[in-house]
Amino acid sequence: MSTKDRPRKPELLAPAGSLEKCRIAFLYGADAVYVGGKEYNLRSYAGNLDSGELAEACYLAHHLDKKLYVTVNAFARELDLETLPRYLQYLQEIRTDAIIVSDPAVLLLAKRWAPEAPLHLSTQANTTNSLSVQFWQNQGICRINLARELTFEEVQEIQKVAAIELEVFVHGAMCIAYSGRCLLSAFMNGRSANRGLCTQPCRWSYSLVEEKRPGEYFPIREDSRGSYIFNSKDLCLLEHLGKLMAIGVHAFKIEGRMKGALYLASVIRTYRQAIDRYWEAPEIFEVDRKWREDLAWVSHRPYTRGLLFSDSAACQGVETATSYVQTHTLAGIVRPAPQSRWETSLSPHNDGEDWTYIEVRSRLLPGMKLHFLGNDGATTIHALGNFQDLSGNPLPVANPNTWIRVHLTFRTFPNEVIRTRR
């Protein structure tokens, strides 16, 4: 394939539930980040960003030559129509790179009150065919996140005729509902998933009770005669990025605005490396063992290829166990020296001689092995020796939500993520 005919390199789009996570996502290789404000998005239980943080996140993104998209993808109620215009105006004022919508009412308001802001369509709109793509394009949409129910062949056919950008999820939690339109949380807890208040009841453990046998609980399991309908597995398409890149999908999206720093660093840097390596030499591309380890060592449910690449062995998107695979945890995050200002660059934090400051997130003891996750894919393993508090007092243990300082013989950088075994 000639360079002229080659599809463009896909954008890696990552989630961020807070301003700190925006920094981490950009640091570890995201081309763009999607966030939510305090209202009108489908992840109300994420930290989300207030108006000032949204402006700061936009500034940070543009300073790094990256992009920031803001989700306004909740299904609006009548009262929302009164307050949405000012919010949409504000998103345009801070130069948001795109507003992600799903409700036609929000789309109409955005076109009126934020006419200069590009509009992306959420997976909640469950776009499943090329005519729907054309319809939304006619409404002013410039990018569509396709429904997760599509097969690769369907995505390929839509991509051939689509005149706008297409985006697909490649990693993260899956919902049992059609394109995420679930009523379980609303019925069971009075908290609507379609208003951003999902309590994730699909991840709970269930048993079946027969009407005439009260008190007898039958576990719901998967066997050759039926399916275990809840507890969806997590999507992982690492092995199939090449196929999606070859057909020209514009953006690969990672799920997880409620996920933590370790998840973001591990997943983003894995997909960053995979995309770049395939782009450099697609004919010899292979999935690196270290990438699989990074994805295995974050908290996750067993992985599936979902419906995009389903077959008899891999199409089972549900899991009989309700617990997550959790082998490693977030040990801490490298911070600038307390007297310094926050840094947004990727410059080294120390030169191998100065103190390295760590904000502790898990209980740390001398002798524990810490994995410093480089944003270039390298991982430096360090056996924790003696450490001090910020006043220089030796500590026998470091507890979460405290800071310590240590001497290291290698370079670190602000916001570098550190993991350790649980």
Ordered structural domains, the chain, with CATH: 11-181+231-304 (3.20.20.80), 328-421 (2.40.30.10)
Q: What is the model's pLDDT at position 210?
A: 75
Calpha distance 57→25 (Å, rounded) = 11
Cα gap 121→127, rounded to integer Å: 9
Between 203 and 139, where is the model more confident? 139
Q: Tokens 């502790």 correspond to what residue?
A: 360
- Of residues 393 and 314, more confidently modeled: 393
Query: Quick check: 224 pLDDT over 50?
Result: no
Average the pLDDT over 46-53 and give the result: 85
Q: What is the mean pLDDT of residues 219-236?
A: 59
**Among 128, 72, 82, which residue's Cα sits nearest to residue 104?**
72
Q: Would the pLDDT of 228 be above 60?
A: no
What confidence tens digit (pLDDT) does each residue in 319-336 have?
555 567 889 999 999 999
Under a CB-based contact definition with an 8 Å cutoff, are residues 91 and 70 in contact? yes
* Residue 289: partners with Cβ closer than 8 Å, 6 or more residues away: none
What integer is the mean pLDDT of 19-26?
A: 96
The answer to whether residue 314 scores a pLDDT higher than 50 is no
Indicate the range of 72-81, 163-172, 181-190 predicted with least confidence.
181-190
* φ/ψ of residue 38, rounded to 5: -75, -10
pTM of the predicted protein model: 0.85
Q: Taking the C-alpha atoms of 307, 313, 319 and 323 in order, what is their torsion angle to the nearest 10 degrees?
A: -110
Rounded Cα gap, residues 411 and 348, in angstroms: 6
State both tokens at 185: 């949380």
Question: pLDDT-derived band of residue 19, with 50, 70 and 90 as boundaries?
Answer: very high
Question: Does the CA dihedral 213-215-220-223 come out positive or negative?
Answer: negative
The CA distances from residue 56 to 53, 59, 231, in Å, are 5, 5, 37
Look at residue 203 in the predicted model and tell me its pLDDT: 64
Note the pLDDT of residue 40. Answer: 82
- Rounded to 5°, angle at Cα 88 from 83 and 90: 105
Return the percentage of the chain with pLDDT > 70, whole number. Answer: 79
User: Which pLDDT score, from 0 to 100, does residue 352 have?
Assistant: 45
**CA–CA distance, 264 with 349 (Å, rounded to integer):** 21
pLDDT tens string 128-152? 999 999 999 999 999 999 998 899 9
Q: Which of 178-182, 193-197, 410-414 has the highest mean pLDDT?
A: 410-414
CB within 8 A of 250, min separation 6: which ones? 8, 10, 11, 143, 165, 166, 167
- In this structure, the chain runs to a length of 422
- Note the pLDDT of residue 2: 44
Q: Out of 107-116, 170-179, 202-211, 374-383, pick the least confident.
A: 202-211
